[in-house]
Amino acid sequence: MNILDFHRCFALNTSARDGVDNNTCRTQLIARCELVNQVTSDTGEFFLGKACIGEHMYKDGRIVQVPTAEVCLIFCKDDWLLVKKFANHDDDVIQVGSADDNPPDFDGKQSCWSDFRFHLNHAVARRLSSVEDIINATLAFETLVGRTTIFDASRQWRAVLEYPVAYMNVHPPIKEFTLDVGPILFPDLDSVAMPLIRRMELAYILYKSLDHAEFAVRVPTKINPGAAIQTLHYAKAVEMDATNELFSLSAG
């Protein structure tokens, strides 16, 4: 079967201001989420881009924006969602845009995307069907990709999460493994926000069996119990039944 080879998957977008292109950005894609309503026709395919730091491009002087901010984009065919994370959550910027609706840039000026496309590469993969297969593939330095399927409580919504496996623990003597990967896209299955891209959150996924998963979800979090100041942190722990699959993109 074919699986996304995330090392060769990118989004390319060109921004323009006053009808003139001013930047083209290539972003590596590091996670995918397919969200499907099994009752209605609502569906969406979303990709998480690798984060960067806020920057001043093509200008004399300092490149990094101060105060600094971690910036990441979530992409889909019709919309994008930008999250600009500062030290203080009160300063965070969360924007949703599309070809028809582009909010202002950090400097308050209006721009739009004049071009946007995905470059998705697939590779032939084999499914690792046992713990022994997972351990052997890990120790052989094979390229691994995970896929996790989850449902909401009513089983109306199904989400399929895909992600490259950059971190894996294995213990051959006791034949166990523990996966710990992130950030990935994790949908809020209780949300009614529209468009669907607004339901995407960032999380780490962890599991040591193929039928259960835990998620550490990034949410507004007080820096200490008595403080009013919040930041975005992977502080919300969620456990749920899941179908976890692991694939090797290396020849076996």
Whole-model pTM? 0.93
Instruction: Please tell me the predicted confidence (pLDDT) of residue 177.
Output: 98
Instruction: Please tell me the predicted confidence (pLDDT) of residue 113.
Output: 86
Three-class SS of residue 103?
coil
Express each pLDDT in 214-245 by its tens digit.
999 999 999 888 888 999 999 999 999 999 99
Closest CA to 240 of 216, 221, 213: 213
Closest CA to 2 of 114, 205, 109, 145: 145
> In the chain, where does DSSP find H-type helix?
131-139
CA-CA distance, 166 to 138, in Å (whole number)? 10
Kindly report the number of other CB atoms within 10 A of residue 213's CB atom. 24
CA-CA distance, 46 to 216, in Å (whole number)? 19
Three-class SS of residue 129?
coil
Instruction: Please tell me the predicted confidence (pLDDT) of residue 233.
Output: 97
Express each pLDDT in 107-155 by its tens digit.
566 678 889 999 999 999 999 999 999 999 999 999 999 999 999 999 9
Closest CA to 134 of 77, 177, 185, 193: 177
Express each pLDDT in 57-112 by its tens digit.
888 999 999 999 999 999 999 889 999 999 999 999 999 987 555 655 655 666 78
